[in-house]
Structure 1
Amino acid sequence: MSSTAGSTLARGETDLEEETSVRAAAQRPYHVVVWNDPVNLMSYVSWVFRTYFGHSSDRAHELMMQVHEKGRAVVATGSREQAERDVTAMHHYGLQATLEEN
């Protein structure tokens, strides 16, 4: 009987650790990455960054240049849920975007 109690305790600890790990992953910040594409004008990409994210003109231009020159830029960081909303919004604006764990 004590071996069953011991295995139950170990199982309970494993479940708790797994639940804690899942919660920690959900709270971990995620990056919204916008990727370069051959379609959108640079001025349009800057406008989207200003309009949707509220970036200043200078910051929007800087991020747009990262996208243009380096092929990608992290344009926002937040919860997984917020990052998913932002990625969906970028798709609605016609931009290629993904989220990545920080």
Structure 2
Amino acid sequence: MSISTLTEQIRELEQETSAVEEASEDLPWAVVVWDDPINTMDYVSYVFQSYFGYSAQYAESLMLQVHTTGKAVVSRGPREKAETDMMAMHSFGLQATVRKESDV
């Protein structure tokens, strides 16, 4: 095998690796809201309705998930949007984190 053939194979592998890394960065991100002892259930439901525009029924189901399981995914999307949503939840006084969708 010649050096030029090996060099070409290395370039192909680097391109494939690069494509996989880019794809993994594009995975949707999730905003997780965590249960806390401070905010009322009504308030949490109100936040989901007012910020995300969720229906009262959907907001209440998310709130109940937070209350009973300790957390709920309230938003998904690109990292920038997820970070914006997380910061908005913080501004409402809710505990929230951003995680890769695969880690939720």
Q: TM-score, normalised by structure 2?
A: 0.85
Aligned with 1:97: secondary structure? strand
Q: Which residue of 1 aligns with 2:55?
A: 56
Task: Provide the aligned C-alpha RMSD in A.
Answer: 1.7
Aligned counterparts of 1:31 and 1:64: Cα–Cα separation in 2? 16
Q: Which runs of 5+ in 1 are unaligned?
A: none
User: Mapping of 1:29-68 within 5 angstroms?
Assistant: 29-68=28-67
**Residues 79-94 of structure 1 aligned to structure 2 (within 5 Å):** 79-94=78-93
Shift of 1:88: 1.5
The residue identity in structure 2 corresponding to 1:37 is D
Percent identity between the two aligned chains: 47
Larger displacement relative to structure 2 (5-14 or 24-33): 5-14
Instruction: Please give the TM-score of this superposition, normalised by the length of structure 1.
Output: 0.86
Q: Which runs of 5+ in 2 are unaligned?
A: none
Count residues in correspondence: 101
Partners of 1:46 and 1:60 within 8 A in 2: yes
| Displacement after TM superposition at 1:9 (Å) | 2.0
How far is 1:6 from its partner? 3.3
